[in-house]
């Protein structure tokens, strides 16, 4: 098929077509925009055709002619078919430009008349194809789009390769795709690369990550799948988009979905695709492969123990057929693709599967695996099997594998007879709680809902309600109706009421923004739990109460933490993100005890990783990142924050909170645009969830990013909202969000010095009462800027130098560097003669040396770029006359001075690190204060005053 140059395709592909391919697209775009060619390769189903279409759509408008061909296996025996697709519709337009022998040979090949062959026409046909491409290129750029090169008929492939190797220097680009082997190390695309335009860029399509597979499934309409199911789809598909979509389709069409640990339904289309060579195996070899597919980690030794005596020979024959991957000196047996294993298992009937599991239940050395296989080999209820599964689930839990415990627990529930203890619903609830630990919140909620549909026991119902509440995370507004139902089920039982009251404390905090009420509910829950002898709930309630008291600046916070840390302790609560250990960490970091905070959070993180407690791991990764950021280790903080964000995206837990903190880390040591995007995401998510607590934190991160980006006006708007929200929440301790210095600094930049001083005064009183030394030092840094704006240059410099010294001693490396940067900025400002010794500013580069050194030590790249830009600026313009200066704030004087130099608003914005809108607003105030109307009037007024 031929597409003419006047055929208009979409300039950009739909977003879902390029999921997970951003980096590859960037490389391909750069290559194609520079006139180069691209060869995309990878295994079947990996998305080559999709990528090819999207890239072609982008490049089509820049080409005069677009030529296309897409070969198929069934037509690969037809000579010159691909050539006809490429040139059939344009040959008449350029035929008269070809020599007669070439024209005759080409027309014969394209039409089938005259029985043209490469053997007979030889060089004439080859030169005809080359001449045709050159003739088309003479009229304008040509784009050749060829898909599935592996199915090109040999004649067309030879002709295309001949021409491509000789098209260097002509405006002809080739965009091609070819299927290659699954293994990344395979180099079978090389022969196609050698037949391409010189210096063609080869790009291999890699499998999609789990989050990308999840996004793809949602884009194609397969929504509502539990994360555990998406995880299984990703594992079974190996990240192959086509396989993932086919598995998603099969699930959508299935009346029942598999339970955790059960295999996915593999549609017939995929079975045929991956098992086409299975018929070449003997019946015994197929049984051996089935046993291998049923095992978690199959080895030759395991197969022998399972009764497969000829495992070596049978697996070798399977490897020769490409069903197994061959690995030297590797004890394990690995299928060529995870889907091969899944399809083999799906192909077997129920009796064959049970036989395989029965053999493995005797052969496996691990008790957890033996129990799982025994369950899968057993039909109906069996108390002995259920008991063994319950023990296996407990062992998996102790090993830090809660996701394994979920599957075992559900199997145990299935094999539990009626009227036994623990009951099937008790086992399901334990599985739901294990799912919460593993970060599978949607699975936990689904299990709990199933229990609620039939359970009548108050204890089971309340326990199930608590799982529903916990699985909602920050979005408590979605399950608000749960609380009255849970209280009704709890009745007068103090232990059950304590569970509900504890969650009501979180509701008061997240939905109503009432810390006082949250503290009261937590204290009430702790008392009820103590009365009922439920130490676990008591410890959680005390930990929550301590967190509230810490944020409120309540004097009881230290004693509550001590109560929560007394023996006896529940090991899982001790390291829980809502436990006393987490509350103690928050107390330490807010009290400037950074070294102790790092030790505490590192120990907590290590323990929850050992136990597989995903949500707690996420919290403690953020906590460690925060500690490193406070300490001025920006690179380390950024690495930890990005790791936590990947985990949050993968599990769907705490995405708003993690985006918020990652924004702070990006603004300190990464990319400011990324920081802004993440902060906006955090704000949007918090507003959608109705989460007042994290909304204030997210706005604080947004305001900080806006300040670093140079948009002081936007920073003021965001941080004013934070101030209002925290006053409403009852947050007293300024060490909670540490946004106060940023707000004061942003207010100074826009000329609102009176409000800046008010922020400083109010915050200072609270910081003094709570002994927050680092907060006080940051406030002094901000106050120095206020004083400088009022013309108090000497006192401002001394206050900044003192703040820098104190922040350094406290270990706040980044804040110390910011103080040095502000001090350097003051020392390079123009001053009136006599304001400082010598009456002249220090040279820019010299003044900024200390700030540059400190930011470099912190790896604070966004700040370092600001310093380097400031140091490279020419000396500041002379100030306006003293009489005019009296009426202008510091930023207004700087803007006016640059106007006198002839700088545009954009140039002023760049030199002062503020937005163009801020420059415009500042000029408006200057005009008003000086009684003038335009930039010209500034220059005229200054000249008049100098002449006086």
**pLDDT per residue as tens digits for the range 249-289:** 988 888 787 877 678 888 888 888 788 888 888 999 999 99
8 Å CB contact between 145 and 68? yes
* Separation between Cα atoms, residue 322 and residue 326, nearest integer Å: 9
Among the ranges 69-78, 629-638, 689-698, which has the highest mean pLDDT value?
629-638
Scan for tokens 């070969």, then name that residue.
71
Helices marked H in 122-181 — which ranges?
A: 123-139, 154-164
Element (H, E) at 924: helix 916-930
In whole angstroms, what is the distance from residue 920 CA to residue 916 CA?
6
- pLDDT for 836 equals 43
Q: Give the single-character DSSP code of 62.
A: G
Tokens of 182: 């699954």
Q: Tell me which residue of 29, 27, 35, 24 sits closest to 12, measured CA to CA.
A: 29
Tokens of 177: 């795709």
Residue 6: band (very low, low, confident or very high) from pLDDT cuts 50, 70, 90: very low
Q: What is the pLDDT of residues 912-946, one digit of tens each?
A: 767 777 787 888 788 777 766 666 667 656 555 54
**In the chain, what are the helix, strand and coil shares in percent, each to the nearest 5?**
70, 5, 30
Place of tokens 């592909």: 13
| Residue that wins the pLDDT comparison between 809 and 126 | 809
Residues 6+ apart with CB under 8 A from 6: none
Count of residues in the chain: 948
User: Tell me, what's the pLDDT at 174?
Assistant: 92
Mean pLDDT of 841-862: 81
The angle at the Cα of 533, spanning 479 to 522, to the nearest 5 degrees, equals 40
Examine the pLDDT at 768 and tell me if it is beyond 80.
Answer: yes
Are the CB atoms for 95 and 107 separated by under 8 Å?
Answer: yes
> What pLDDT is recorded for position 2?
34
Q: What angle do CA 653, 658, 659 make, to 5 degrees?
A: 115
Cα–Cα distances in angstroms (integers) from residue 276 to residues 236, 288, 346, 436, in the given order: 18, 18, 14, 41
- Helix, strand or coil, per DSSP, at residue 282: coil
Residue 189 has pLDDT above 70, yes or no: no
d(CA 180, CA 150): 9
Looking at residue 455, what is its pLDDT? 92
pLDDT tens digits, residue range 331-377? 678 898 898 999 999 899 999 999 999 999 999 999 999 999 999 99
pLDDT of 837 higher than 60: no
Q: Is the dihedral of CA 540, 543, 549, 550 positive or negative?
A: negative
CB-CB contact of 704 with 715 (8 Å): yes
Mean pLDDT of the chain: 87
Q: Which one has a higher pLDDT value, 913 or 704?
A: 704
pLDDT in the model for residue 190: 65
CA–CA distance from 829 to each of 780, 884, 926 (Å)? 20, 17, 19
Q: Does 426 have pLDDT greater than 90?
A: yes
In this prediction, residues 741-760 reach a mean pLDDT of 94
pLDDT(290) > 80? yes
Instruction: Grade residue 797 by pLDDT with cuts at 50, 70 and 90.
Output: very high
Q: Collect all residues with Cβ–Cβ distance below 8 Å to 466 and sequence separation of at least 6.
A: 486, 499, 500, 503
Q: Within a 13 Å sphere around the CA of 855, how many CA atoms are in the beta-carbon half?
A: 24
Residue 852 has pLDDT above 90, yes or no: yes
**Which range, of 433-437, 458-462, 748-752, 944-948, averages the lowest pLDDT?**
944-948
CA 390, chain centre distance (Å): 36
Residue 834 has a pLDDT of 36
Sign of CA dihedral 359, 363, 364, 370: positive
Residue 344 burial (CB count, 10 A): 24
Q: Are 405 and 613 in contact (CB under 8 A)?
A: no
Cβ contact 379:324 at 8 Å: no
Torsion of CA 203, 209, 211, 217, to 10 degrees: 70
Residue 884 clears pLDDT 80, i.e. is over it: no
pLDDT by residue (tens digit) across 711-729?
999 999 999 999 999 998 8
pLDDT (mean) for 108-120? 65
| Residue 576 CA: distances (Å) to CA of 420, 648, 877 | 32, 17, 58
Query: Exposed e or buried b for every residue in 377-409, given b needs 16+ CB within 10 A?
Result: bbeeebeebbbbbbebbebbbeebbbbbbbbbb
Instruction: Yes or no: say if 657 and 694 are a contact pair by the CB < 8 Å rule.
Output: yes
Give yes or no for residue 754 having a pLDDT over 60. Answer: yes
d(C-alpha 686, C-alpha 680), whole Å: 10
Q: What is the dihedral of CA 588, 593, 595, 598, to 10 degrees?
A: 20
pLDDT at 3 over 70: no
Mean pLDDT of 136-143: 93
Nearby residues of 92 by Cβ (< 8 Å), 6 or more positions away: none
Centroid of chain to Cα 226: 19
**Closest Cα partner for 220 from 267, 265, 261, 252?**
252
Instruction: State residue 931's pLDDT score.
Output: 67
Sequence-separated contacts (24+) of 429-434 with Cβ below 8 Å: 429/460, 429/463, 429/464, 429/467, 430/393, 431/393, 431/405, 431/406, 432/464, 432/467, 433/467, 434/393, 434/397, 434/402, 434/403, 434/405, 434/406, 434/409
- 3-class secondary-structure state, position 684: helix
Q: Which residue has the higher pLDDT, 301 or 897?
A: 301
Q: What is the pLDDT of residue 326?
A: 66
Predicted confidence at residue 62, as pLDDT, reads 86
Using DSSP's 3-state secondary structure scheme, residue 736 falls into coil
Please give the pLDDT value at position 563: 94
Please give the pLDDT value at position 118.
60
Instruction: Give pLDDT, residue 882.
Output: 45
Using N-to-C axis directions, what is the helix angle for 861-872 and 849-858, rounded to 10°?
160
- The Cα-based distances of 541 to 344, 544, 617 in angstroms read 50, 5, 20
CB-hemisphere CA count at 13 Å for 742? 31
Contact 132, 94 (CB under 8 A): yes
User: For 638-667, what is the mean pLDDT?
Assistant: 93
Q: Indicate the pairing of strand 38-42 with strand 65-70.
A: unpaired
Beta bridge partners, 147, equal 70
Cα 851 to Cα 680: distance, rounded to the nearest angstrom = 29
**Does pLDDT of 844 surpass 70?**
no
**Structure tokens given for 45:** 């189903």
Axis crossing angle, helix 813-827 with helix 861-872, rounded to the nearest 10: 10
Host H or E run for residue 574 = helix 571-574
* Torsion angle of the four alpha carbons 149, 155, 160, 163, in this order, in degrees rounded to the nearest 10: 160
Q: Above 60 in pLDDT, residue 12?
A: no
pTM for the full model? Answer: 0.77
Rounded CA-CA distance 345/747 in Å is 66
Query: What's residue 789's pLDDT?
Result: 87
Residue 765's pLDDT band (boundaries 50, 70, 90)? very high
pLDDT band at 830 (very low <50, low <70, confident <90, very high): low
Cα–chain-centroid distance for residue 470?
23
Distance CA 179, CA 948 (A): 82
d(CA 890, CA 160): 69
> Strand 201-204 to strand 324-325: parallel, antiparallel, or no bridges (unpaired)?
unpaired
Of residues 311, 155, 342, the one with CA closest to residue 244: 342
Q: Which of 541-555, 873-887, 900-914 has the highest mean pLDDT?
A: 541-555
Kindly report, residue by residue over 568-603, the tens digit of the pLDDT.
999 999 999 999 999 999 999 999 999 999 999 999
| pLDDT, mean of residues 397-424 | 94
How far apart are alpha carbons 812 and 499 in whole angstroms?
40
Asked whether residue 866 carries a pLDDT value surpassing 80, the answer given is: yes
Q: Which of 273, 263, 269, 272 is nearest to 233 (CA)?
A: 263
pLDDT of 9 over the 50 cut: no
């Amino acid at each position: 098929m031929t597409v003419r140059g006047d055929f208009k395709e979409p300039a950009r592909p739909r977003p879902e077509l390029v999921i997970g391919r951003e980096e590859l697209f960037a490389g391909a775009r750069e290559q194609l925009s520079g006139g180069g060619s691209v060869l995309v390769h990878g295994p079947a189903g990996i998305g080559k055709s999709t990528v090819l279409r999207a890239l072609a759509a982008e490049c089509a408008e820049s080409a005069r002619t677009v030529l296309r061909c897409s070969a198929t296996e069934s037509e690969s025996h037809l000579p010159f078919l691909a050539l006809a697709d490429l040139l059939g519709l344009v040959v008449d337009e350029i035929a008269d430009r070809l020599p007669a022998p070439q024209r005759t040979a080409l027309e014969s090949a394209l039409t089938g008349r005259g029985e043209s062959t490469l053997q007979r026409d030889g060089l004439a046909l080859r030169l005809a194809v080359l001449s045709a491409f050159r003739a088309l290129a003479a009229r304008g750029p040509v784009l050749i789009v060829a898909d599935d090169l592996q199915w090109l008929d040999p004649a067309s492939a030879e002709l295309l390769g001949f021409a491509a190797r000789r098209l260097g220097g002509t405006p002809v680009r080739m965009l091609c795709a070819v299927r290659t082997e699954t293994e990344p190390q395979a180099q079978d695309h090389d022969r196609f690369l050698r037949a391409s335009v010189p210096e063609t860029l080869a790009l291999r399509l890699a499998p999609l990550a789990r989050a990308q597979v999840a996004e793809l499934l949602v884009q194609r309409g397969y929504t509502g799948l539990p994360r555990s199911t998406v995880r299984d789809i990703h594992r079974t598909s190996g990240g192959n988009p086509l396989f993932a979509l086919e598995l998603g389709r099969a699930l959508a069409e299935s009346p029942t979905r598999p339970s955790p640990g059960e295999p996915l339904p593999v549609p017939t289309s995929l079975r045929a695709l991956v098992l086409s060579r299975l018929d070449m195996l003997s019946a015994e070899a197929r049984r051996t492969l089935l046993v291998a597919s049923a095992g978690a980690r199959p080895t030759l030794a395991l197969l022998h123990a399972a009764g497969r005596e000829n495992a070596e020979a049978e697996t070798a024959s399977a490897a020769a057929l490409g069903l197994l991957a061959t690995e030297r000196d590797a004890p394990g047996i690995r299928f060529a693709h995870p889907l091969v294993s899944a399809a083999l298992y799906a192909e077997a009937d129920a009796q064959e599967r049970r036989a395989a599991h029965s053999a493995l239940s005797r052969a496996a050395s691990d008790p957890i695996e033996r129990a799982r296989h025994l369950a899968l080999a057993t039909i109906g209820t069996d108390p002995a099997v259920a008991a063994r599964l319950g023990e296996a689930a407990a062992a998996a839990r102790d090993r830090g594998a809660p996701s394994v415990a979920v599957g075992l627990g559900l199997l145990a529930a299935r094999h539990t007879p009626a009227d036994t203890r623990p009951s099937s619903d008790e086992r399901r609830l334990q599985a739901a709680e294990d799912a919460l630990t593993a970060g599978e919140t949607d699975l936990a909620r689904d299990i709990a809902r199933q229990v609620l549909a039939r359970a009548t026991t108050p204890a089971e119902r309340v326990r199930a309600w608590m799982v529903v509440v916990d699985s909602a995370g920050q979005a408590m507004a979605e399950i608000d109706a749960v609380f009255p139902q849970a209280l009704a089920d709890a009745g007068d039982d103090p232990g059950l009421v304590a569970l509900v009251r504890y969650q009501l404390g979180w509701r008061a905090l997240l939905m109503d923004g009432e810390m006082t009420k949250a503290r009261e509910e937590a204290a009430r829950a702790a008392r009820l739990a103590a009365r009922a002898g439920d130490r676990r709930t008591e410890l959680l309630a005390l930990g929550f109460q301590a967190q509230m008291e810490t944020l409120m600046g309540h004097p009881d916070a230290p004693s509550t933490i001590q109560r929560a840390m007394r023996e006896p302790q529940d090991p899982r609560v001790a390291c829980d993100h809502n436990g006393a250990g987490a509350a103690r960490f928050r107390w330490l970091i807010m009290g400037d005890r950074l070294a102790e905070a790092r030790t505490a959070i590192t120990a907590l993180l290590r323990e929850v990783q050992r136990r597989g407690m995903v949500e707690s791991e996420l919290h403690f990764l953020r906590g460690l990142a925060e500690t490193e950021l406070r300490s001025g280790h920006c690179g380390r903080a950024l690495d930890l924050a990005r790791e936590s964000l990947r985990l949050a995206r993968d599990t769907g837990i705490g995405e708003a909170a993690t985006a918020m903190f990652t924004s702070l880390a990006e603004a300190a040591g990464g990319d400011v645009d990324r920081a802004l995007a993440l902060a906006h995401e955090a704000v949007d998510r918090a507003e959608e969830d109705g989460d007042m607590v994290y909304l204030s934190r997210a706005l604080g991160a947004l305001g900080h990013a806006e300040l670093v980006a140079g948009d002081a006006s936007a920073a003021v708007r965001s941080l004013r909202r934070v101030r209002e929200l925290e006053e409403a929440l009852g947050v007293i301790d300024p060490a909670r969000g540490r946004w106060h210095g940023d707000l004061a600094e942003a207010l100074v930049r826009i000329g609102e010095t009176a409000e800046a001083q008010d922020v400083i005064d109010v915050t200072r009183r609270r910081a003094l009462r709570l002994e927050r030394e680092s907060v006080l030092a940051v406030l002094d840094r901000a106050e120095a800027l206020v004083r400088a704006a009022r013309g108090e240059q000497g006192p401002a410099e001394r206050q900044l130098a003192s703040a820098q010294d104190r922040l350094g001693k406290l270990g706040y490396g980044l804040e110390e560097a910011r103080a040095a940067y502000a001090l350097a900025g003051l020392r390079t400002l123009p001053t009136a003669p006599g304001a400082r010794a010598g009456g002249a500013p220090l040279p820019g580069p010299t003044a900024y040396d200390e700030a540059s050194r400190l930011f470099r030590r912190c790896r604070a790249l966004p700040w370092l770029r600001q310093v380097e830009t400031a140091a490279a600026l020419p000396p500041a313009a002379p100030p306006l006359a003293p009489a005019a200066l009296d009426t202008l704030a510091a930023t207004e004087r700087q803007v006016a001075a640059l106007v006198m130099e002839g700088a545009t608003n954009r140039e002023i914005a760049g030199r002062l690190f503020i937005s163009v809108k801020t420059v415009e607003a500042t000029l408006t105030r200057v005009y008003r204060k000086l009684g003038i109307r335009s930039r010209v009037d500034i220059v005229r007024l200054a000249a008049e005053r100098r002449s006086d």
